[in-house]
Structures are given as C-alpha cells and as structure tokens.
Structure 1
Amino acid sequence: MAILSKIRERSMFLILVVGLALFAFVLDPSTISDFFNSTKVNDIGSVNGETISRQEFADALEAYKQSSGGRVSEMQAAKNVWNSLLRQKIYETQLENAGITVGEADIMKALIESSGVQNQPRFQTEGLFDKSKFTEFLATIKEANGDEWRAWQQYMTSLKSNLQKTTYDNLVTSGLGASLKEGENKYLTENTKISGKYVYAPYTLIADSLVTVTKGDVKKYIESHASNYEVEASRDVKFVKFDIKPTSEDEEVIKQAVAGLIEDSEKNGIKLTGLKNATDYVEFFNENDSDVSFDDKFQFKVQVPQVIADKLFEGKEGDVFGPYKDANFFKLSKITEVTQLPDSAQARHILVPFVGASSADPSITRTEEEAKVLADSLIAAVKKTPSKFADLAKDFSSDKGSASKGGFYDWFGYNRMVPEFRDFVFKGNKNDLGVVKTVFGFHVIRIEDQKNFQPVLRLATFGKEIVASDATENTIYQDAELFAQDIANGKSYDETLKEKNLKSLPAVGLKALDENVPGLGSEREIITWAFEKDVNVGDYKRFDIEGGYAVVVLTNKTAKGLMSVDKATATVRPILVKEKKAEMLEAKMAGSTLEEIAKSAGQTVRNINKVNLQSPTLAGVGYEPKVIGAMLSAKENEVFNNVVGDRGVFAFAVESKELPTALPNYDTYRKRLANERRNKSFQIFEAIKKASDIEDNVGNFYGIQQ
C-alpha cells in the first residue's frame, strides 16, 4: 500500500481519542466505579468460586508466548492459556475432593525423570545423569531469580498440571474396567440376529407445509434443552470492502520505469548505469530499489520465470529480456552466465566442525584453524588411499546421518545443499576431491557421480512490484469516505449499496477473542469495536485494513446465555418438524395387529431377516439403531407400535432371536469394553467442566465489556 494510508488521520486522531476518553471518564460515573472496583480490575474469571486474577493470567500468558517463540497469535495464546488455567483449577479441585495432592516431591521426580533433563550433558557425569549437578543448578538459578529461573518455574508448573491430569484420569479409569459377564453381554447384544415383521411409516408421508412450528415452540424447546443452546456473547456485522488495486495506468507507469533501467541514463547530471552494462548487480539492485532479491545461483529451465523461459534459453550471455509481467511484478532478466550442469549428483563427505559452527555439538572444542588442519590431513589420507574414505567418514565425520553410510549422499538435486557444497559438487567433475568450508565447518568432499547434464543460466532478475499509485489509493479512500458519509447523512446502508453498485458481505458470530473477520482476514480492531459498550446495532465505522478500507455496520448483538429464537430456528425447526410428524403418524397407525396398523397407515407389512446391532440397518429403510435396539429388548410375538426412529415411525413384532454361537472365553470383548471406557478421559474432563461453575471474563483483559 502506498504511504498515504500510513500518514492519514494519525496525529489529530490520537489527540481526539485521548481527549474524548478523558471527557467520557468525567461524565460517566460508572467508569470511575469500575476503575476502583478491584474485582473488575484484578480478576478475569473464576472456577467454582476460585478466582483467576489478572496477574496470574498475565504471567501465564507471557510465559506461554515466550515458550511458543511468538509462533502463536495473541488471541490464540489467550485462549490456550485460559483453557490451561481452567483445566488446572478443575483438576486441583477434583483431586482435593478425593484427598489427593500433587506435591513438590512428585514434581521434582517427574522433572528428574524427563528426557529433556536426563539427556543434557551439563547434568551428567561420565555420560550418566547426575542428580546433584541438576539440583545445584536449580539452586543457583533460583538464587539469581532471573529469566532462566522463571522459565524453569513455568516448565514445573506445566509438569504439575500434567501430573494432576494424569493422576485424576488414572484414578477414574482404574474404576472403569469390565467383567467377563459384561464382555459376554456385549457379544450377545451385538451379534443376536432378529427376525420378524414390521410396518414403516416414513416422515416423508407428511409434507413439511402441513406442519406448523411457531416461535413459541422453538423457545420452549430451547429452554428445555438449555445446555445444548448456551452461547457466548457474539456480534454480527456486514461490510463493504474497498480494495486498493493498481489501475492499468498504474501498471503502465511501472512498466515504463522498469524499461528505463535497461540502458544507461543520466539524471541531474549524474550518469546512471543500466542493467545491460552493469557488472556489480548487488549495487544495481540496491540503487534502483528492486523488490526482488538478487539471486546468482544457476537455474534450470523449470526454475526461471516460466512466462519467458523459452526466450531466456535461446539467449546468450549479456542479453537482457523485459520488461515482462510475472505474477505481480514487472521484471528484467539479464543472462550473466551460460553453462551446463548435472541436475543431480552423488557425493561422499566428512564434516569437521569447529567451535561456533552451525549445529556444532556442545562437546566440540577445536578451533577453526585446528579443524582446517584435520580436514587437510584427512584429504591427504584419502588421496593416498581412496578406499579409506568410508572408514574415515565413520570415524571422523560429525554428520551422523551420512557417517553411518561412509559419508555417502545418494542422488540429490542442485538446490539441496548449502551453496559452497553445491557449487563444488555440481561445477566439478566426477572423482574430484576437495576441502570446502561452509557454515557447518570444513567438508572433505569427493564427487561420486553426476547425471542428466543440461543447460543452465545464471540470471540477474530485477523486479518492481505492481502497486497502486498514491492517486489511485486516494481515489479508493475517497470512495470509502463517501460511502460512509452517505450513511451518516441518513441514507440506508442497502440503498447506498444499490446506488453505488457495491457488494456487501456478512460476518456472523464474531466472538470477543476472535482475530479473523471472514472475508477480511486478521482484523482484530473491527472485533474490538463491535464489542464496545457504546456501539449499537446500526452503528458503522470505516477501517483501514490490509490492502484497502472497509465500511463496517454492526447488525446484531448476542448476549451470553441462551441462543436467540431467530438464530436457533434453523437447527431446532427440523427437530420439531420431525417430532410433530411423528405425532401425526402415530395417530394414523391404529390397530392391534400389524395388518391393521399397515392398513390404517396406508403401508405394507415388511419382513425383518436376521438383523443385528452390529450392523443396524433395515432393508429399504436404512440405518435405524434405535428401532433395532427396541426389537432386541422386545418380547417375541408381541406387537409394539409407535416406535419413533430416525426415518419414520415403526410398528413391529419379533418372531425369533437367534443367539450367536457361545464362545469359550469372552475376554476379548471384556478388554474391548474396558478400553472403550478408559479412552474417555477427554469426555470425563468435558463432563466435569460442564458441571463446574465457570465465569469467563478474559475479554476484560483486552478491554472488552461483554
């Protein structure tokens, strides 16, 4: 984006914001009471009456962000930390109720037994873990009370949380075994084959138009199933996006500017070297502000810009091509070298690292000079006796992956290795020997083989990104401003859309800690605005967004609690329609025999042939586990009517139940049942969480009053 959007409305805007904030503070006494209310200031939530303070959350959040190395966004980090604190508090309460405590001794034991501690050389004596070294280390960093100690504290807190979870899960699952009798029952239940007859009245017999579902019906259903329809506070918005895109005129200006860099030129009496006559390409790229980095490695035909690949490989050294459009750039390419290289090679190497080399083991103590002497002595030995290379690699190479194979690297491509290693192997000849220095140390290399020689080019490819000009950006800005002003002057949003032939997009169900607005991307500022206490439905605002502007209108505010009738209707109505249809079908299915029931419902009597719960499907109907489960429990030769299934209402009579062949032992089924029960630790936690009294005000931490 051009610089206009970076400077527009900044200084005066900040002054106004500060002034208005102070003014609001003076006028609104609730703001003052909030400020002095320690609960609102210091607490961001609670679990079963135990508060989670702002400081506790902030410390955990900072530690989490440090441990994740900044790879997690702010809002995702906040969600993860809050869930972690919830889990920790819930498990602490459960263990406390059970009379179990995870103490310091348990944490220290887990810490000492962790591989991350056991395998650190600084805590070892002659290759074995030394507990005294580790405890001395902890005491030292604790005394210093610096960042390292705080990092270890965070690690120990994490260990404690995991221990609590494991302890509680083990405590619960130890009581979730299964007996042989239960295993036998599972086997019989799944494999008993049922035969008989049934009548099926599908829901499709009644048209949807004949079923009336009122808002009152939906409201009553929601209230009676409250736990399934509890929702977080959310906001709905709609917006118009004004993208800043370069015009054809902008493109032409950039294209001509790039074209002007081919030949030498003069500006203000200073001679400027063009790409055609340039020899210092790094300097040329810097002086002319290339948006493409200079890359001097050789390129095969599939690697050069494909829009001009054929022409490039017909050219010769010194030729300049362009300007040409490649993706979102106008480029110039100059051929600086033409040669032939293999597209893959085999090599052996011995890596000799030194102190400070990349990925060098901490145990390495040799200097760079000493490493070079060792590498020279190794290549001398290989030259004298070439067959020794593999053995020397196994004994001396620090590259463990290849050392076990005698230093051998099988066929690898041109771009696989670091530049110095690559250039030696691909520009040299088969059987060449040499010592090459890279960031990893000194390499003793022998080229084993090369194949598929083909033309390659070294190119100097200069590029300028195609971006909108300041004039274009200003026009887009004015369009966004005029749209917002029309709404401010009393025109409706939809009327203004139609008049200006613009497209509006919705973003529904935005949560307080969300970051992304569907259709706009990461735009946290919009979500924060939508949750501001004084922003009401119908209010709008223009935002600077990535690549343009957006005029956003708040269309709905959903409070924390039960889902509104309007929002729940889409999911609840099909359920109620099915229930009402079932009632209507039940009224039709009158009679004491299947034949009478079939006649009154206008259906036929169908046969059931050896169905079971392992595959609960009725021929011509489909998957009906509830109905087949009812059949399994039913008395034989007795008519059961008005059994509600997934696809309709049923009446049936079971004529026979064929038990499966008895097994000599039901331990397999017992184990399967026990494992199913034990693998429910997640469901166990979710059930406890659901039963807990949780107050979530994490949004307050970010200034959002829900």
Structure 2
Amino acid sequence: MAVLSKIRKNSVLLVGAIGVGLFAFVIGDVFQSGGFDQNSRYIGSVNGTDILAQNFLAKVNNLESNGQGSLSQVSNQVWNQEVKSIILDEQFEKIGIVVGKDQLLQYIVNSPEFSQNPQFLNSAGVFDINKFKEFLATIRKTSPEQWQAWLGYEAQLEQFAKEQMYNSLISASIYTTKFDAQTVNFREATFVDFDYVTLQYSTVADDQAQVSDAEITAYVKKHAKLFKTVPTRSFEYVFVENKPSENDIKDVNAEMMDLLNGKVVYNAETGQNENQESFKTTTNVAEFVNANSEMPFDSSYVTKALLPLEYQEQLANLPVGEVFGPYDFDEYALLTRKLEAKKNASAKVSHILISHAEANSPIGSTRTKEEAKVLADSLLNQVRTNPAALGILAMQYTDDPGSKQTGGVYDNVQRGQMVPEFDKFLFNNAVGATGVVETDFGYHVMRVDEFYDGMKLATIVRRVQPSAETQDELFKTANLVFAEASEGANLADVAKKHQVVAMPTVVGKNDDQINGLGSSREIVQWAFNKATKVDEVKKFDIATGQVIVKVTEKNDSDLMTASQAKAYVEPILRNEKKAAILKAKLTGSTLADMAKNAQTAVSVANNITLANPNIAGLGIEQEVVGAAIGLGVDKISPVIAGNTGVFVVQAKAIKPATPLVNPLSKTMQINQQVRGTAAARVYQSLENKAKIEDNRYIFR
C-alpha cells in the first residue's frame, strides 16, 4: 500500500465492526477483566432482579475486545440484552415456557455455524451428531475455558428458543375480524372530492405567537409518555484544539521547499558552504526519503483509484521523474515524486477455492483430492457456460473465507502478492480467461476480471505540529477562557472575545461521547457528579487540546426539560396560538364568503382517501379529510386546526368503498402485517411498564 493511503489510515480513528460467528464465540475468551470499576456488586436491576456487575462487565469486555463497537455501544448492547432477558424470563415463567434438551439440540443442529461446519460433517457431507457430541466431550475434558464459553452459548441459545416460542404464541393470538377488514377497505377505497379554504400558519409572524418555557413544561407533563428520557446534563464547552498555527504550517512548507530544491548548508568540518542534495535530482530516492520523511519509502505500485480523491488527477498525470508538492494531506505536508509508471501492475480476479484433506487449508476439508478436482472442473464448466454465475457459486462453494462474502473477488492484486501458481495464471492471461489452478491450498476456479496500470511514488511526509510558541499561546487562551468563565462571565461571550467557539450539548449519564470531542467519559462523569453545580466551570486536558466546560442545566427527572423538548413542542404550541388568530378571519356562511373575507381563494381537492390524506401542495391532513368524509356532501365544516394551517371544508362528492363480499384475503393481509410487529410491540409495552434501575454510569 502506498504511503498516502497509510497516512489516511493512521490519521483517522477507524472502529471496525467485525462480525463474529456463533462458533467463534464458543471457542473465544469470554471472561476478560478490565475496563470498568468493579467495586460494586450490582450494576442495575429490572423489576427487583439484580444484574451482577461481574457478569455484565465480562460480557461488555468480551464484545469490545472482539471489535463489536465502542465501549458505549457494547455497554448499551449488553444492557439491552440483560433487561430484555429479565423481562421475558418473567413472562416465560408465568406461562410455563421451557425448552427441553432434545429441543435445544434441534436448534443446534439447525444452526449453520454447526450444521455446515466441515468438522461435524460425515463423508456424505451431512451433519453428524456423534461428531458434535465428541467435540463437546473433548473440550469439556481438555479446555475448561472453552467449556464454560459453550455453556454460556447454550444458555443464550435456550433463551433464544424460549423467545421464539413466546413470539409464536403472541403471533398465533392475533386475530383480525371481518369488521377490521371492512374498516381498512373503507379507509383505502372511499374517495372524496371537496372544496376548502385554508389560511396557513406561515402567514402569522412567530413573534405574534410566542411560547414560554412554562407552557412547554406543562405540555411535556401532559404528554409525559412522549417525553420520557434518562437523566441528562446540559453544558457549554470551549475546545481549544492543540493544532498548528499558520506560521507553523509555513515553517514546515519552507522545510519541504528546501528538500525539494536543495539548499546551501555550512559544513563545520570543512568550513565550507555545501549544496544539499534535492528531492528533484537525487539518484538514491529510497535513501533520501528514509532520511527525511516520517514514513519510510514504499516500493509498491498503486493504481489511480487508490490515490486520495483530492489529489488523484495531479498525481496520476504527473510525468515520471517530476515532483508534486508541497501539498497538505490531513495533518501532514508532503512531497511526491513519480518514479515509474507500469502497465498491468495489479489486477482484479474472481476465484472459487475447492480445498481437500491434503491441502494446506484452515477449513479442514474432509474432501479427497480427486473429489476436489472433479468439483472444480464441474464449477469451471458452469462458469464458462454462464460467467455471471461465478459470484453466486463462490458464495456457495468456496473454501476461502477471505473472499466468500465478496463473491470470490480479490481486487487490486499486485504481482507476487499471491502464491506463485495463482500469480502466474492471473498475470499471464488476458482479461476473461478462466481455468483451474492447483496450489497448496487446493484447486482454484479462476477468472481474470481486469488489469490496472500502476505507478510507483516516493513521498516525503512531515507531520505539521504546533510549535512550542503555539502551544504556549493555546495554553494561555484556554486559561483566560477558564478564568473569566469561572468568575461568572458568559462563556459564549468569553469564547468570542478570545476567537474560539462555545458549543452547547446535552449528554446522558451513560454517554461516553460528546459531539465535537469524541470519547470524553471524564467530562460526563464530572457533569453528573453530585457535587458539580449548575454554572460550575472546569478545565480538562485531553489528548487533542483543552476543554473548558460550564454546566448549564441538570435534569434528574425522567422527563425532558423545556429546553430539551423545545424543538419538538414549541412549533406545536405556536401553531395552536396561530390557529386561534387565523380562525377569527374565517367568517361567512359559505366558502366563497370566507375566502373573500380572508382575502384568499377556494381550493379544490379530488380523489382523496383516509389511507392517503395528502392534499396537493400542503401534505398530510388527516383531520381535514376525515371531516370532509364524515360530514357528508355539501355540509360545511367548522374551522379545523390542521397540520399546516386552519381549514374549512365542504365535500362535493363522496364515492363510497364497495363492501368486501369475501373479506378473507384482506383479513389475512392485515393479520400478517399485525403479526409482523406484534411481538416487538408487546415487549416495548412490557419494558415501558418495568421498573428499571440503571447504574452503569457509576462503573464507567
């Protein structure tokens, strides 16, 4: 890989979500320590059932160490699993759901991680239960850790089986009546044409309908179910980033120009000025790069597609021997010299690996070498008959785990990267060539897909870092902001004065990320400390700079505060006030009179249904359409406060739905839709009613 690609990988924190199969989980190290404070015995409870901290933390650490996500993500994942397990266990016990050994074994047999694992297949390629039992007996005797992991997995599988049974019972209990079917048919097939007069909320200025925090709070309390939340802290922060100044950047670029063109230096030993070698003219490029760059010389060839998009054209079109730069790339200053351009430097190839018992393969295939060759030849014939089938065949047959999910594809393969036999076929054939190639890994059904021209680049890399003088200035700025804010000054004003920015944010007690700062658990813990008061200010030193934080609001209730709910509630309450203003303008006995008095026009809507109450140009207006259908033809409605404004409607024609003669089909359709979400809705209801105590923030 070229230096440019390495820079981007090194300068951006990438958290990869690595999928771990069930079988890998079985043999993995489940119980690891560290990451949390483990002084307390319980991390929380659900309906009085305690969650042991030791077990919880072990599961969190296992997922985090396996790359399943950040600490916060895996903590939430495990917590949700624990809560769900306790809530559902209560239900299983109430209705007597149990899973027997035979039933559990059937779930294991049906799991692809086991039923398709070559280790447990007989000579006919069929899952052999005796081989599986022998495996369990072996790890029980020889590996206590793997055995404990297996027991943990078995418990998870049993829980899954119970949940499936429970969900099946819920699904089976769903029943849709003929009346339900006729009701849905009415909503979908009753069409109405109506005239209407509307005055939009946007015609009233917002300052004529101001909403107070007290009104928002009252609305939140009235609709408490909609505004449930966890305890939160609101605060402002100023981030003084430890970044180089313009002078620092200029200094590094000046150094790069000296490297580019060479410079005169004084040699103390000879007492003479000497010309320093330049990057443009040096004949030993690798040595020059290694002596002057923070990243070593990379001799590999790269394709245009692998170059960073912002410099792709300049670097790809650079003549051999020429230098591009200095240029900025992430946190670095760079000089790049093109050393060589090469045709067909790399390739794209598709293959299917058919392994066998004699091959060097991690799969451990029981297939004989002769059987492998017969299968490979058969697959090659299928590929030659239908080239597009190779990807599907690879996902079905290949024994190469590295390309199974990509349909057998390896892209940007360079010469010498693969084993010799594979490499020889790939680079000695034309695009489209197919064949079977034998390597130490087995037989490869191969197809050459594409060749790429490449280039060899030499790149000098210098990280642009803040100088000592810059660091002193940044430290001074942070201390001034902290001192002035600590004395009661408005943090936003102080920040503006010192040419930095104050950012507002809200965090929950279990958060470990802050927008704009990334992982900041220490700040969250301080904000939730009982001793930390509103308006208190503190300065934190983090890896990338200094953060000055001021707490602006503490919310320990389970409802949003006015400031948190404002974005959602304020438009609703404002529109209610605007509706009262606009209603007074709609006077008259006919729509024409109302339109004239309100200085607007009568509009028309045709073929509207309750299932799709969309009025052209206005959007969804359920109540308006409902009123038009419900009142009947020629009846004028009272003023309706809709989503976008106030309305008065008069139906001109109603085309009623034809009653269903045989509602069975519609009943089955509705039943299927409801059953699909029933289990999730039942669980959500159980969780909402559960008494849950979450103390994870203490352990972080």
Shorter-chain-normalised TM-score: which range? Answer: 0.7 to 0.9
Specify whether residues 424 and 690 from structure 1 end up closer, same or farther in structure 2 by C-alpha distance, changes over 3 A only.
same
Query: What's the offset of the Cα at 1:558?
Result: 1.8
Aligned partner of 1:95 in structure 2 is 92
Query: What's the offset of the Cα at 1:482?
Result: 4.0
- Residues 348 and 448, structure 1, Cα contact 8 Å, conserved in 2: yes
Specify whether residues 269 and 536 from structure 1 end up closer, same or farther in structure 2 by C-alpha distance, changes over 3 A only.
farther
Q: Tell me, in whole angstroms, the C-alpha distance in 2 between the residues paired with 1:204 and 1:493.
A: 34
Could you tell me which runs of 5 or more consecutive residues in structure 2 were left unpaired when the two chains were aligned: 1-37, 271-275, 385-390, 399-406
Query: What's the offset of the Cα at 1:80?
Result: 0.7
Q: Tell me, in whole angstroms, the C-alpha distance in 2 between the residues paired with 1:487 and 1:176.
A: 60
Query: What's the offset of the Cα at 1:194?
Result: 3.5
Aligned partner of 1:361 in structure 2 is 363
Aligned partner of 1:548 in structure 2 is 545
Q: How does 1:261-280 map to 2 (within 5 A)?
A: none
Report the AA paired with residue 159 of structure 1: L
Which of 487, 491, 507 is equivalent to 1:510? 507
Specify whether residues 172 and 465 from structure 1 end up closer, same or farther in structure 2 by C-alpha distance, changes over 3 A only.
same
- Residues 236 and 506, structure 1, Cα contact 8 Å, conserved in 2: no
Name which one, 1 or 2, has greater alpha-carbon Rg.
1
- Residues 193 and 658, structure 1, Cα contact 8 Å, conserved in 2: yes
Aligned partner of 2:174 in structure 1 is 176
Aligned partner of 2:695 in structure 1 is 697
| Residue aligned with 1:236, SS | strand
Task: Confirm or deny that 1:292 pairs with 2:288.
Answer: no
- Residues 538 and 553, structure 1, Cα contact 8 Å, conserved in 2: yes
Q: Tell me, in whole angstroms, the C-alpha distance in 2 between the residues paired with 1:247 and 1:651.
A: 63
| Residue aligned with 2:148, SS | helix
Report the AA paired with residue 313 of structure 1: P
Specify whether residues 458 and 536 from structure 1 end up closer, same or farther in structure 2 by C-alpha distance, changes over 3 A only.
same
Which of 673, 676, 687 is equivalent to 1:676? 673
Query: What's the offset of the Cα at 1:508?
Result: 1.7
Specify whether residues 362 and 293 from structure 1 end up closer, same or farther in structure 2 by C-alpha distance, changes over 3 A only.
farther
Q: How does 1:92-491 map to 2 (within 5 A)?
A: 92-126=89-123, 127-143=125-141, 146-194=144-192, 209-211=207-209, 213-247=211-245, 249-251=247-249, 254=252, 259=258, 281=286, 288=291, 290-299=293-302, 309=315, 313-315=319-321, 321=323, 324-327=326-329, 328-331=331-334, 338=340, 340-342=342-344, 360-363=362-365, 401=394, 415=413, 419=417, 457-488=455-486
Aligned partner of 2:20 in structure 1 is none
Report the AA paired with residue 163 of structure 2: K
Aligned partner of 1:76 in structure 2 is 73
| Residue aligned with 1:483, SS | helix
Q: Tell me, in whole angstroms, the C-alpha distance in 2 between the residues paired with 1:199 and 1:350.
A: 67
- Residues 525 and 697, structure 2, Cα contact 8 Å, conserved in 1: no
- Residues 346 and 410, structure 1, Cα contact 8 Å, conserved in 2: no
- Residues 302 and 455, structure 2, Cα contact 8 Å, conserved in 1: yes
Query: What's the offset of the Cα at 1:547?
Result: 2.9
Which of 513, 525, 528 is equivalent to 2:525? 528
- Indicate the larger mover: 542-551 or 229-238: 542-551
Specify whether residues 533 and 597 from structure 1 end up closer, same or farther in structure 2 by C-alpha distance, changes over 3 A only.
same
| Residue aligned with 2:638, SS | strand
Q: Tell me, in whole angstroms, the C-alpha distance in 2 between the residues paired with 1:277 and 1:606.
A: 79
- Indicate the larger mover: 533-542 or 640-649: 640-649
Aligned partner of 1:45 in structure 2 is 44
Q: C-alpha deviations, 1:289-347, integer Å up to 9, x for none?
A: 743343212356776776874895253xxxx85873352444455666x4652367798
- Residues 178 and 673, structure 1, Cα contact 8 Å, conserved in 2: yes
| Residue aligned with 1:41, SS | coil
Aligned partner of 2:27 in structure 1 is none
Q: Tell me, in whole angstroms, the C-alpha distance in 1 between the residues paired with 2:447 and 2:610.
A: 66
Specify whether residues 242 and 354 from structure 1 end up closer, same or farther in structure 2 by C-alpha distance, changes over 3 A only.
farther
Specify whether residues 72 and 355 from structure 1 end up closer, same or farther in structure 2 by C-alpha distance, changes over 3 A only.
farther
Specify whether residues 294 and 344 from structure 1 end up closer, same or farther in structure 2 by C-alpha distance, changes over 3 A only.
closer
Specify whether residues 461 and 50 from structure 1 end up closer, same or farther in structure 2 by C-alpha distance, changes over 3 A only.
same
Instruction: State the TM-score, normalized to the length of structure 2.
Output: 0.72
Which of 568, 572, 575 is equivalent to 2:569? 572
Report the AA paired with residue 294 of structure 2: D
Q: Tell me, in whole angstroms, the C-alpha distance in 1 between the residues paired with 2:673 and 2:352.
A: 52
Q: Tell me, in whole angstroms, the C-alpha distance in 1 between the residues paired with 2:379 and 2:485.
A: 79
- Residues 285 and 458, structure 2, Cα contact 8 Å, conserved in 1: no
Cα RMSD for the two superposed structures: 5.3
Report the AA paired with residue 673 of structure 1: I
Q: C-alpha deviations, 1:439-469, integer Å up to 9, x for none?
A: 97599999989989x7x65444342222223
Instruction: State the TM-score, normalized to the length of structure 1.
Output: 0.71
Query: What's the offset of the Cα at 1:151?
Result: 2.8
Task: Confirm or deny that 1:612 pairs with 2:570.
Answer: no
Query: What's the offset of the Cα at 1:686?
Result: 1.7
- Residues 195 and 602, structure 2, Cα contact 8 Å, conserved in 1: yes
Q: Tell me, in whole angstroms, the C-alpha distance in 1 between the residues paired with 2:566 and 2:462.
A: 53
| Residue aligned with 2:114, SS | helix
- Residues 242 and 474, structure 2, Cα contact 8 Å, conserved in 1: yes
Query: What's the offset of the Cα at 1:402?
Result: 12
Q: Tell me, in whole angstroms, the C-alpha distance in 2 between the residues paired with 1:447 and 1:84.
A: 45
Q: C-alpha deviations, 1:43-70, integer Å up to 9, x for none?
A: 222222222222332233234335xx12
- Residues 349 and 426, structure 2, Cα contact 8 Å, conserved in 1: no
Specify whether residues 482 and 586 from structure 1 end up closer, same or farther in structure 2 by C-alpha distance, changes over 3 A only.
closer
Q: How many residues align?
A: 627
Q: Tell me, in whole angstroms, the C-alpha distance in 1 between the residues paired with 2:680 and 2:89.
A: 16
Q: Tell me, in whole angstroms, the C-alpha distance in 1 between the residues paired with 2:88 and 2:67.
A: 28
Report the AA paired with residue 215 of structure 2: D
- Indicate the larger mover: 552-561 or 457-466: 457-466
Report the AA paired with residue 362 of structure 1: G
Q: Tell me, in whole angstroms, the C-alpha distance in 2 between the residues paired with 1:356 and 1:280.
A: 46
Q: Tell me, in whole angstroms, the C-alpha distance in 1 between the residues paired with 2:446 and 2:563.
A: 74
Specify whether residues 583 and 339 from structure 1 end up closer, same or farther in structure 2 by C-alpha distance, changes over 3 A only.
closer
Query: What's the offset of the Cα at 1:575?
Result: 2.3
Q: Tell me, in whole angstroms, the C-alpha distance in 1 between the residues paired with 2:695 and 2:344.
A: 63
Percent same amino acid at aligned positions? 26
Q: C-alpha deviations, 1:474-512, integer Å up to 9, x for none?
A: 442343234334445676645543543x22232321112
Query: What's the offset of the Cα at 1:625?
Result: 1.7
Q: C-alpha deviations, 1:253-272, integer Å up to 9, x for none?
A: 545666569989999989x9
- Residues 430 and 447, structure 1, Cα contact 8 Å, conserved in 2: no
Q: C-alpha deviations, 1:3-23, integer Å up to 9, x for none?
A: xxxxxxxxxxxxxxxxxxxxx
- Residues 507 and 519, structure 1, Cα contact 8 Å, conserved in 2: no
- Residues 228 and 559, structure 2, Cα contact 8 Å, conserved in 1: yes
- Residues 344 and 412, structure 1, Cα contact 8 Å, conserved in 2: no
| Residue aligned with 1:231, SS | coil
Report the AA paired with residue 481 of structure 1: N
Aligned partner of 1:383 in structure 2 is none
| Residue aligned with 2:184, SS | helix
- Residues 104 and 158, structure 2, Cα contact 8 Å, conserved in 1: yes
